[in-house]
Structure 1
Amino acid sequence: MTDRINVLFVCSKNQWRSPTAEAVYRDDPRVSARSRGTTRSARQTIQAGDLAWADLVLVMEDKHRHRLLADFPGETRFLTVEVLHIPDDYQLMDPELVELIRVATEPFIDSFQRRQRLKP
């Protein structure tokens, strides 16, 4: 198997959605997962180093993608940033949120792995 993919999950406050995603993928042998938030009041605010670490960035909403591209234009220039389209309607580890995260995330992980296998 190829190397693990560094996946960074991003929401606003790093309180419910992105920490849930990090927990869901914590023990997945395909990935190393981190979570961060885009606001100053986030539990863990995203920094340039987080983007340098990441192979794949998965944000919860379009506004998170726009914020990253605006705040970190150099760091995101060649980085894959995808939107999961998961609204801020859930608490930490809500079973419905866990399912939404899995369903939305898996195609991106699969696609990234396929592209990695095609590289010479």
Structure 2
Amino acid sequence: MINILFICSRNQWRSPTGEQVWRNHPEVSARSAGTSTKAKRKVSAKDIQWADLTLVMEQKHKQRLQASFNRLLAHKRLIVLDIPDEYQYMDPELVTILKQSVAPLICADE
């Protein structure tokens, strides 16, 4: 089982979609959070500690995580998916991108 944490800014569209898409995969436990103070669910130190793999939507999310949790991220996998903030929750195109982007990362762990 791999614990995957999906991160975007406000935990409104992209990261909750990632969590929803991957939550029922038999090899995955998925969570989502945001980096903004206005996030529906703000990322915490416990989230970072829990995650085996943290997937951020944009480079700015990686930078924000490193600024807040640098020590906790030292030996963690943190990958930027480069998914722009132009999709709504469960947008079919976003779902396809998340499936195609994340599947090879999970298979790499098996």
> What TM-score bracket applies, with the shorter chain setting the length?
over 0.9
1:72 aligns to what SS in structure 2?
helix
- In the alignment, structure 1 residue 43 sits paired with structure 2 residue 40: yes
TM-score, normalised via structure 2 length: 0.97
Unmatched segments (≥5 aa) in structure 2: none
For residues 92 and 22 of structure 2, what CA distance do their matches in structure 1 show?
A: 14
Q: CA deviation at 1:108?
A: 1.5
What are the Cα deviations for residues 76-95 of structure 1, in whole angstroms up to 9, with x where unaligned? 01110001110000000000
TM-align CA RMSD: 0.8
User: How many aligned residue pairs are there?
Assistant: 110
Q: CA deviation at 1:106?
A: 1.3
For residues 75 and 49 of structure 1, what CA distance do their matches in structure 2 show?
A: 10
What are the Cα deviations for residues 25-44 of structure 1, in whole angstroms up to 9, with x where unaligned? 11000100000000000000
TM-score, normalised via structure 1 length: 0.89
- In the alignment, structure 1 residue 73 sits paired with structure 2 residue 70: yes
Q: Give the letter aligned to residue 83 of structure 2.
A: I
For residues 94 and 45 of structure 1, what CA distance do their matches in structure 2 show?
A: 22
Percent identity between the aligned chains?
51
Unmatched segments (≥5 aa) in structure 1: 115-120
Q: CA deviation at 1:66?
A: 1.0
For residues 58 and 27 of structure 2, what CA distance do their matches in structure 1 show?
A: 24
